[in-house]
Amino acid sequence: MKRQSMKTRRVLERSVVVVIALLVMVTMVGCKSVGAVIKSTFSDLPYWYHNPEMGLAKDETPMLGQGSANTERQAELLAYDDIIGQLSDQVGYQLGREAYRELSVLGTILEFGLKVKNTYTAVEDGRYTVYIQVAINEKLLEQAMTEENKRRQTVSAEVKDIVLEGDEYVKDGKDLKAVSCYLRAMTLAYGQSYVNEDYGFDGLYPYVVEMIQSMRINIEEARMADATCTVTLKRVGRFASSPIASAELMATYQAVDTRGEVYDDYFVYVTDDDGVVPFQSINDGLVRNGQIRFDLNIMEDLDQLQAVVTNTEDLTKVANLRALVNSKAAYFNYSKIFSMGSIAVAVIEHDQYGYVTGVSDISNYVTEKLQSDGAFATAFYPELDHEDEVLYEFQHSGRNENCLLVIRVGVIDNKTTDLGFSIANAEGIAFLYRRNSTEPLYSSDVINASAFAETPEEAAQGAFKNLADIAYTLIKAVYV
């Protein structure tokens, strides 16, 4: 037999030593760790990397993080970030910056009893890789996961209940209320992968589109001179239409305030069981000539959905929904007339002592407001100062206006400030009569107003104008 070389014998002896060492380690750590022992022996990584449970207490569970970068500190921070990401996935919600800061600075996260056990840095070709072993308290981790599971179950159940509520509305012919439910469910479920996909954004979107497309708002029995009409909401099918009950329709229009300024106003009306809304504006300051727009009142639901949507494609879908809703709007153009005919205006001004001033500025002011609003109005300057007497004087004056507006205004007090300005407080009352009647069509409560100016006279006139503005708004609805 040929003798072995010295080199061959040294190799065999070293192999025997390695095998014996492995057998000793297996005996010490148990069979479960055989793989870890072998891997750590033949790799550059530490034993705990292949056996993360090493050195942990019974109530602890391990987690390994890893980060690579051009500097050791950057690699270490990326390893911490890896731990934060894994832990976020495990508990089911995103841990914030505070958790990352606590781990990277203090080496712990108290909320989970997490602490760093071991770190190891490897360098290859000038690039650093940092490995981190952390231990987490199992009870605290389980508690966090349990709370998250409870939250998920609560959200899933709430979404399901909202969808089922919408389904019931569909059965009852209340389609718009159903759409509102579906939009709320889409908002609540968005980004929550654990929610039944049929109840989520993608699952409900086609149904919402289909339902809105089938809706139609119609204007019927329009009376332009009165600014009134009947609005109907129906689901239009291929062969027949059916009413949509309990649907909110928003009416948007312009109105005039007591100062004569135009502003946008709105009011929500609800359809009856026949899908019908008898429209009559509740705002007495509705502009004389204008347009009323009726919309499906679900824009707030769309706003809430848009606020949670992050995906560009989904944002486009929300925008398409908004455009679809806008396309369903119906419009009613009107031009109100003064059905009661011409009107005479008499404003009696009193000073702070109760005497009639004989000034006709406010009579002219109110007359011009009515004329600018399309009314045939003229001023009437009476010699008497009580509304009953003014009405009698008007009826025997030969004037032929259909109505008489009487407004009495007076100064309560007029004071001068330390800066030299005058402040006037005034009160008044308004009456509207038909020409041949002694009973008023309308009588207001006592109206109060104030104004300040450089002189007492200017302040009083300002207060009277403010009173006249209020009285004008109050009587206009009756006069129309």
Q: How far apart are CA 1 and CA 479, in angstroms?
A: 133
323 φ/ψ angles, rounded to the nearest 5 degrees:
-65, -40
Lookup result for tokens 């300024």 = 261
Residue 11 has pLDDT above 60, yes or no: no
- Using pLDDT thresholds of 50, 70 and 90, give the confidence band for residue 286: confident
Residue 371 has pLDDT above 80, yes or no: yes
The CATH homologous superfamily to which domain 44-142 belongs is Acetamidase/Formamidase-like domains (3.10.28.20)
Q: How far apart are CA 76 and CA 190, in angstroms?
A: 34
271 φ/ψ angles, rounded to the nearest 5 degrees:
-70, 150
Q: Which of 40-44, 54-58, 320-324: highest mean pLDDT?
A: 320-324
**Candidate from 140-154, 164-178, 282-296 with smallest mean pLDDT:** 140-154
At 418-448, the pLDDT tens digits run: 788 899 999 999 999 998 888 998 888 899 9
Q: Write down the pLDDT at residue 55.
A: 82
How far does CA 131 lie from the centroid of its chain? 46
What CATH number is given for 343-479 in this structure?
3.40.50
Residue 282 has pLDDT above 60, yes or no: yes
Burial of 16 (0-12, 13-18, 19+ CB in 10 A): exposed
Is pLDDT larger for residue 467 or for residue 42?
A: 467
Given a contact cutoff of 8 angstroms between Cβ atoms, the answer to whether 305 and 190 are in contact is yes
Q: Write down the pLDDT at residue 147.
A: 80
Q: What is the mean pLDDT of residues 65-76?
A: 95
Residue 195 has pLDDT above 80, yes or no: yes
pLDDT > 70 in the chain, percent: 90
227 — alpha (psi -120 to 50), left (phi > 0) or beta? left
Q: Which two tokens stand for residue 148?
A: 């998250």
Q: How many CB atoms lie within 10 A of CB 459?
A: 24
Q: Write down the pLDDT at residue 44.
A: 76
Residue 51, CA distances (Å) to 37, 39, 135, 243, 378 in order: 8, 10, 13, 69, 100
**Of the candidates 235, 233, 234, 221, which has an alpha carbon nearest to the alpha carbon of residue 280?**
221
Q: Write down the pLDDT at residue 17.
A: 45
Question: How would you write the chain as a 3-class SS string?
Answer: CCCCCHHHHHHHHHHHHHHHHHHHHHHHHCHHHHHHHHHHHCCCCCHHHHCCCCCCCCCEEEEEEEEEECCHHHHHHHHHHHHHHHHHHHHCCCCCHHHHHHHHHHCEEHHHCEEEEEEEEEEECCEEEEEEEEEEEHHHHHHHHHHHHHHHHHHHHHHHHHHHHHHHHHHCCCHHHHHHHHHHHHHHHCCCCCCCHHHCHHHHHHHHHHHHHCEEEEEEEEECCCCEEEEEEEEECCCCEEECCCCEEEEEEEEECCCCCEEEEEEEEECCCCCEEEEECCCCCECCEEEEEEEECCHHHHHHHHHHCCCHHHHHHHHHHHHHHHHCCEEEEEECCCCCCCEEEEEEEECCCCCECCCCHHHHHHHHHHHHCCCCEEECCCCCCCHHHHHHHHHCCCCCCCEEEEEEEEEEEEEECCCCCEEEEEEEEEEEEECCCCCCCEECCCEEEEEEECCHHHHHHHHHHHHHHHHHHHHHHHHC
- Using pLDDT thresholds of 50, 70 and 90, give the confidence band for residue 474: confident
CATH of the structural domain 213-335, one choice from 2.60.40.650, 3.40.50.920, 3.20.20.10, 2.60.40.10: 2.60.40.10
Q: Write down the pLDDT at residue 312.
A: 95
Is pLDDT larger for residue 143 or for residue 318?
A: 318
Q: Write down the pLDDT at residue 149.
A: 79
Q: How far apart are CA 127 and CA 123, in angstroms?
A: 6
Q: How many CB atoms lie within 10 A of CB 265?
A: 18
Q: Write down the pLDDT at residue 158.
A: 95
Q: Write down the pLDDT at residue 260.
A: 62
At 409-419, the pLDDT tens digits run: 999 888 888 78
Residue 81 has pLDDT above 90, yes or no: yes
Q: Write down the pLDDT at residue 304.
A: 97
pLDDT > 90 in the chain, percent: 58
Q: How many CB atoms lie within 10 A of CB 127?
A: 12
Is pLDDT larger for residue 116 or for residue 25?
A: 116
Q: What is the mean pLDDT of residues 384-410?
A: 92
Given a contact cutoff of 8 angstroms between Cβ atoms, the answer to whether 236 and 215 are in contact is yes
**Of the candidates 280, 293, 290, which has an alpha carbon nearest to the alpha carbon of residue 229?**
280
Is pLDDT larger for residue 324 or for residue 387?
A: 324
Q: What is the mean pLDDT of residues 227-255?
A: 92
At 168-179, the pLDDT tens digits run: 999 999 999 999
Residue 16 has pLDDT above 50, yes or no: no
**Candidate from 63-72, 194-203, 467-476 with smallest mean pLDDT:** 467-476
230 forms bridges with which residues in the sheet?
A: 220, 278
At 325-347, the pLDDT tens digits run: 999 999 999 988 777 889 999 99
Q: How many CB atoms lie within 10 A of CB 150?
A: 10
Q: How far apart are CA 287 and CA 301, in angstroms?
A: 30
Residue 36 has pLDDT above 90, yes or no: no
Q: Which amino acid is at 209?
A: V
